[in-house]
Structure 1
């Protein structure tokens, strides 16, 4: 990582995502004009950050700019349901991701300091502190006495993995069954297309990284849909923990495909409003995944439908 490379500011990235969300919610289609003043009013901000956010979206091809007409939407948000992953990372986000990668590879210890990270990544103190605050907010690290920070337990041990599945078996079905659950239809449509495209891939070219992204989006969709803010926050934090580099190993292609089909089946019932059936299928999905990881299965019930392989 080079300190000389300028990254977008985090507030500009957040605003860029908010503009996409507003466009989707209001039914904006390709070619819709995006006057700075109107966007500023809709997002309750001044015009200066709106201009920076629109430039970010223009760089990513989501918005286009013409001297005669100004900014126009270049995509259909309802179909593509663009997410923050489509946008570049702020400097502190890249530092935080580098910290997590190095910790997963055991290149750094479980105790870290801001000064040590500044030397390691050749970046300023302000960016490092923002990265540490982000990791703390996501419950991945905690302050220690003095100037140190400690990593919280990761999903890299049998006991922790077993507890992770126990947590998910309690919380994810409950998220669906909590009063007021609402599925984001545009995100669901876009996710279905991604999963169907994965299943259409031949084994030799199956995109494992795309699977992980779709898997994370599926479970994030559930967390996002619950009306209980405490359940949503708990699931979002745990999903971040699961997405750490090295958190998932030994995945078989058979299980990746099977897991994708299970996701699609659950999505069918969510889209039709059959939440109780969706919650039951989700329990089966999680138990299958748990029971095909031998160490995690030892903490739970006997394997369902026989052992298949290792899941996600």
Structure 2
């Protein structure tokens, strides 16, 4: 778990810098675990490592918050993911896989020959792909790509399924809001509206937005709803990368997310369910008309 915790510490540090999280921002274990799609144990270890580096600090009520040292940390000075070599390689692999240019099974040596990353970069990229659910290690040797959405018809069906699922999640009798997790999502969306949406990569936008939707679905208390949405998001991820990113539309959706969050924070569940339905319907229409 040591290697994963070290990688997560770096990822969390980048997450703090990329979203310009202010000093004092809470860093909930569960929210980070859901965002990075790992269990809470390695997140807990990663937070301890960052606390030892004074990037974050313990809070009097428990947990951790962003510390003053985060602003001067190396992660804050790193280039954005959109310009990072590893991010570029990751997106090229995603595009080639979606286009059918890669076989179902492949070795690390073949990936290095084709895309030219260092061994360490490829290890990080493969770990990310495993967490996102579109590749898995084969016993003994090599890797196998997992099924993803690859047609416009299937992509449109995914939105129709979400229209059935997500508004209903807000009306479940077992619904229970986690205010700390929702406020962490709100900070992420506010950072995007404040300018982050203009520079974020397609992967960063997808992660921020699916994190919010999965967090809200989790409030339903219905494990089948949460699992269905997470599975769907894993298989539609690559299709989202292929869509042309309209920054104005992306910003508008983030603003709608903030409206949705405020409805939930003020206890207006039925209004939030109605708003969720309109939000998904409009997003489906925008994506259907997008090229790329």
Bin the TM-score by the shorter chain: 0.5 to 0.7
Would you say 1:183 and 2:174 are equivalent positions?
no
| SS at 2:170 equivalent | helix
Q: Is the alpha carbon distance of 1:161 and 1:55 closer, same or farther for their aligned partners in structure 2, counting shifts above 3 Å? A: same
Which of 85, 94, 105 aligns to 1:104? It is 94
Q: Is the alpha carbon distance of 1:114 and 1:98 closer, same or farther for their aligned partners in structure 2, counting shifts above 3 Å? A: farther
Residue in 2 that maps onto 1:10: 4
Query: Mapping of 1:134-153 within 5 angstroms?
Result: 135=130, 139-141=133-135, 150-153=144-147
Following the alignment from structure 2 to structure 1, what is the Cα–Cα distance between the partners of residues 242 and 278? 20
Contact (CA 8 Å) 1:165, 1:286: kept in 2 or not? Answer: yes
Q: Is the alpha carbon distance of 1:58 and 1:212 closer, same or farther for their aligned partners in structure 2, counting shifts above 3 Å? A: farther
Which of 214, 218, 221 aligns to 1:227? It is 221
Query: Mapping of 1:93-242 within 5 angstroms?
Result: 101-106=91-96, 109-114=102-107, 116=109, 131=127, 135=130, 139-141=133-135, 150-201=144-195, 206-209=198-201, 211-242=205-236
| SS at 1:292 equivalent | helix
Shift of 1:9: 2.0
Shift of 1:235: 1.4
Shift of 1:57: 4.1
TM-score in terms of structure 1 length:
0.56
Larger Rg: 1
Would you say 1:273 and 2:267 are equivalent positions?
yes
The count of aligned residue pairs is 239
Would you say 1:288 and 2:279 are equivalent positions?
no
| SS at 2:105 equivalent | strand
Shift of 1:218: 1.8
The structure with higher relative contact order (CA 8 Å, sep 6+) is 2
Following the alignment from structure 1 to structure 2, what is the Cα–Cα distance between the partners of residues 15 and 229? 28
Shift of 1:272: 2.0
Following the alignment from structure 2 to structure 1, what is the Cα–Cα distance between the partners of residues 194 and 41? 43
Give the structure with the larger helix fraction: 2
Contact (CA 8 Å) 1:13, 1:53: kept in 2 or not? Answer: no
CA deviations 1:201-237 (Å, max 9, x no partner) are 49xx833446545323321321332311122122123
Following the alignment from structure 1 to structure 2, what is the Cα–Cα distance between the partners of residues 162 and 23? 31
Following the alignment from structure 1 to structure 2, what is the Cα–Cα distance between the partners of residues 116 and 269? 50
Following the alignment from structure 1 to structure 2, what is the Cα–Cα distance between the partners of residues 281 and 171? 14
Query: Mapping of 1:81-96 within 5 angstroms?
Result: none
Contact (CA 8 Å) 2:28, 2:180: kept in 1 or not? Answer: no
Shift of 1:163: 1.8
Q: CA RMSD in A?
A: 4.9
Q: Is the alpha carbon distance of 1:52 and 1:147 closer, same or farther for their aligned partners in structure 2, counting shifts above 3 Å? A: closer
Residue in 2 that maps onto 1:35: none
Query: Which consecutive unaligned segments of at least 5 residues does structure 1 have?
Result: 1-6, 25-42, 65-71, 77-85, 87-95, 296-309
Contact (CA 8 Å) 1:113, 1:147: kept in 2 or not? Answer: no
TM-score in terms of structure 2 length:
0.59
CA deviations 1:248-294 (Å, max 9, x no partner) are 52232331222122212211221122222211211111111112234
